[in-house]
Amino acid sequence: MHETVIPEAEDPAFGIILPQYRELAATAAAGTGLPPTAGNTVSLIPVNSDRIAWMAEQLQKAEKSIYIEVFRYRVDTSGTRLYHILEEKARAGLDVRIILDKGANRPGDMRDLKKLRDAGARVELFRIPELLTDYILPYVLTTHRDHRKIVIIDGQVAYLGGRNITDYYFYKWKDMDICLSGPAVAQVTQVFQENWERVAPGSPPVSLDAADTPVAGIAPPEGVKQFSGGVVQILQDSPSDEKLPIRDAFELALESATDYFYFQSPYLPPPPSTVQKLKEAALRGVDVRWMIPGRNDVFIQKWMGETLYEGYLKSGIRIFEWKGEMLHSKQFIVDDYITSVGSANTDNLSFFLNYEVMAIVYDSGVARSAKENFLEDQKGCREILLKDVDEWGGLRILRNWFFRVLAGYYS
């Protein structure tokens, strides 16, 4: 059960949100300290190669600051393109700060990125010291990782989503980002500051001045729609939190759904409470659709995910396997009103053990556009039916459950 939180009357954005979704917004605000904000400009960016060109263009326009926090940065074609812009901007005196997860990045790439310090940039590695990481296991095998993907330019524009900075995220994998301008950018900047304090304690804080000034947005890539005036709420999650705002938001969105709940998530399975909420929603008549990669870059994830298929299908959940390159999007859409995009997968790592960030948009135009994208993606999928699962052999079933139990999932 989720505790109902009554929002404070002085938070005007709560009054804009439809009544049936205010508990979700209020619970998220109680868990993160970040209430929803009104008057934001929002673009969903499902395209790949255009996004790197668009980001490069916006970075080139930066006049004051660039803050980047990513799980993985490769100094390949895309990474080098951005690297040269970051170097140029740092030498010009801009406040350039970069946070990289220590375990996700190759030593050669980290050495190259650290050279940005010579230009005046601040580059820090995110690492939580633990007994296992210090003495027993390599850091790449541990939890409590910085899985957030954030780019903030001049405090005016913020990107969130699933993409890291490397070629296959831009040119091969299917992913989704969200671009924000307006007061929500200040919240994204606060989230960046939280981890900056962890990696560089005592250093000057990041600037929030520009983020307090709403702007009209920036011209999106061709074919990408832009929506103005949206209510946006930023959710950050960390393993040190007593509350679980991202998991709770996902489950409360399921509880509030009356028409449909569509979601994409490549890594899984979810915790037992989330599995139960998904089934309950489908059983009460909500059109629940789950899109998952048909070929997962972490193949054990695909095997573990298959242990959910029979139960989901019997509950009425429809399952779609993406037939193209890796589907890496992390998003959900609810009832032509709620859209959420960010770094969090629907699994135990994202919900409990890693540092994550999501944006929830309460806006019918954005949700309908996200739904349109989802249904277009569905055309590139193979729908899994119960008869397909019934045809699996015993060895496949045994393999799937072996790895799921081995990984500690019992839902």
Contact 347, 268 (CB under 8 A): yes
What per-residue confidence (pLDDT) applies to 1? 40
pTM above 0.75, yes or no: yes
**Residue 280 in this model has a pLDDT that exceeds 80:** yes
Query: pLDDT per residue over 211-226, tens digit each?
Result: 555 555 567 777 889 9
Q: Which of 59-68, 120-129, 150-159 has the lowest average pLDDT? A: 120-129
Beta strand 318-322 pairing with 287-293: parallel
Contact 36, 14 (CB under 8 A): yes
Arithmetic mean of pLDDT, 45-67: 90
Query: Distance (Å, rounded) from C-alpha 233 to C-alpha 229?
Result: 13
Query: Distance (Å, rounded) from C-alpha 51 to C-alpha 222?
Result: 10
Query: Distance (Å, rounded) from C-alpha 329 to C-alpha 345?
Result: 9
Read off the pLDDT band of 289 (50, 70, 90). Answer: very high
Query: pLDDT per residue over 74-107, tens digit each?
Result: 999 999 999 999 999 999 999 999 999 988 899 9
Residue 244 is inside which H or E element, if any? none
What per-residue confidence (pLDDT) applies to 82? 97
Arithmetic mean of pLDDT, 46-73: 92
What per-residue confidence (pLDDT) applies to 217? 59
Query: Distance (Å, rounded) from C-alpha 88 to C-alpha 376?
Result: 39
Arithmetic mean of pLDDT, 244-254: 96
CA–CA–CA angle 404, 243, 265 (5° rounding): 40
Closest by CA position to 73, among listed 130, 135, 149: 149
**Residue 410 in this model has a pLDDT that exceeds 80:** no
Read off the pLDDT band of 47 (50, 70, 90). Answer: confident
Q: Which of 129-143, 287-301, 308-322 has the lowest average pLDDT? A: 129-143
List of domains in the chain: 12-266+328-379 (3.30.870.10)
Beta strand 338-342 pairing with 356-362: antiparallel
Burial class (CB in 10 A: 0-12, 13-18, 19+), 276: middle
Contact 142, 130 (CB under 8 A): yes
**Cβ-proximal residues to 347 (8 Å cutoff; 6+ apart), any chain:** 265, 267, 268, 269, 270
> What values do phi and psi take at 115, rounded to 5?
-65, -20
